[in-house]
Amino acid sequence: MGRKSLYLLIGGILIAYYIYTPLSDNIEEPWRLMWINAHQKTIENLATFVELLGLHHIMDSLKVVWSFYEVPPTSDENVTVTETKFNNILVRVYVPKRKSEVLRRGLFYIHGGGWCMGSAAINDYDLLSRWTADRLDAVVISTNYRLAPKYHFPIQFEDVYNALSWFLRKTVLAKYGVNPERIGISGDSAGGNLAAAVTQQLLDDPDVKIKLKIQALIYPALQPLDVDLPSYQENSNFLILSKSLMVRFWSEYFTTDRSLEKAMLSRQHVPVESSHLFKFVNWSSLLPERFIKGHVYNNPNYGSSELAKKYPGFLDVRAAPLLADDKKLHSLPLTYVITCQYDPLRDDGLMYVTRLRNAGVQVTHNHVEDGFHGAFSILELKISHRLINQYIEWLKENL
């Protein structure tokens, strides 16, 4: 074997080692998923290196990369796509071109990205909104919101709430031909968090007369109090979303002060005076038995009050919808929740399903045994199309 061939062999082995990750046998298209993850991991590693050099915040670097996947608001043969502002928040509006004899459904969608990245213009979100508008014969509003690290909680929440409140005005619904009795909200990941939070907030807003018929939450992030749930432990280094990255997202939502992130990872960010909140996220009583097996619930470690006083957002129900009491949950609309087996956020969704059902809310729960974080929105994967089909069929039947 020549020296050149040996170098190529060694290079190939190193590349395969970098890309390869052991996966469960039930994961569909494992090598394609590994390749997508390797691409993302490379970008994250480079962004981390740039941050270590003090040149650029990691989230700002990732945001720049995501911007290359944005597409203009271009109409096609089935859907008219426009951009406008709802209460100064940029949104994309998707309206089916075919004529309708009745008022259409309306769906308000919130993109994911850890409150730090993404937009309604990202290609996969744009396609999702087009498909939903066309197949559901619905007006889809895909909203933007200001992002961390430049903006922190409650800015993201307020932007989404203000855009949604604007959409729910009678004059706006009439302009787009939307039936005020058939409006839903949906979002994935951080967008699922914001969808759950604003849906709760709407219940107490006397100025918003039109209420939501459904909420559809796709692997939502619902609480930062306990980031050592069984799903965080089992999937701490899984593809697409690791525990460390999710904790960084949570921390950046509230502050660029890395001390909060460190305290969260050591489970010492919640002060003892807020100990009563753990009853809302106690996985030992809220998770189905099969997700508890092999895990032992440990009582929380309490930290000082300093972080909670500086960054009270992580104890705020608007950032952590799982902290809502049962009285609030009881009034929520018909709900659809997607959770994925190989996702650190799995147990957030599972606990919310349990609490909603205990509060008397009708819930359809789609647990995806071969799913992982991002399975819904990475459209180059077959699993994404399967989940989107199930999601749209549920919307057809319930919205």
Residue 167 lies in a domain: yes
7-37 in b/e form (b: 16+ CB < 10 A) is eeeeeeeeeeeeeeeebeeebeebeebbebb
- For residue 290, being part of any structural domain is answered with no
Q: What mean pLDDT do residues 374-396 have?
A: 97
Structural domain contains residue 354: yes
Per-residue pLDDT tens over the stretch 103-122 = 999 999 999 999 999 999 99
In a domain, residue 234? The reply is no
Catalytic residue among 57, 111, 269, 373: 373
Tens-place pLDDT, residues 257-298:
999 999 999 999 999 999 999 999 999 999 999 999 889 998
Q: Mean pLDDT over all residues of the chain? A: 94
CA-to-CA distance for 143 and 119, rounded, in angstroms? 8
Q: Which of 343, 347, 348, 384 is catalytic?
A: 343
Instruction: Quote the DSSP letter at residue 180.
Output: E
Provide the pLDDT confidence category of residue 11 given band limits of 50, 70 and 90. low
Let me know if residue 11 belongs to a domain.
Answer: no
pTM (2 decimals)?
0.95
Please identify which of the residues 129, 186, 189, 384 carries the catalytic annotation.
189
Reply yes or no on whether 189 is catalytic: yes
More confident residue, 318 or 18: 318
Q: How many domains does the chain have?
A: 1
Residue 6 reports pLDDT greater than 70:
no
Whether 365 is catalytic: no
In a domain, 240, yes or no: no
Residue 44 maps to a domain? no
Residues of the domain holding 377: 74-224+325-398
Would you state the pLDDT for residue 193? 98
- 354: CATH: 3.40.50.1820
Residue 45 falls within a domain, yes or no? Answer: no
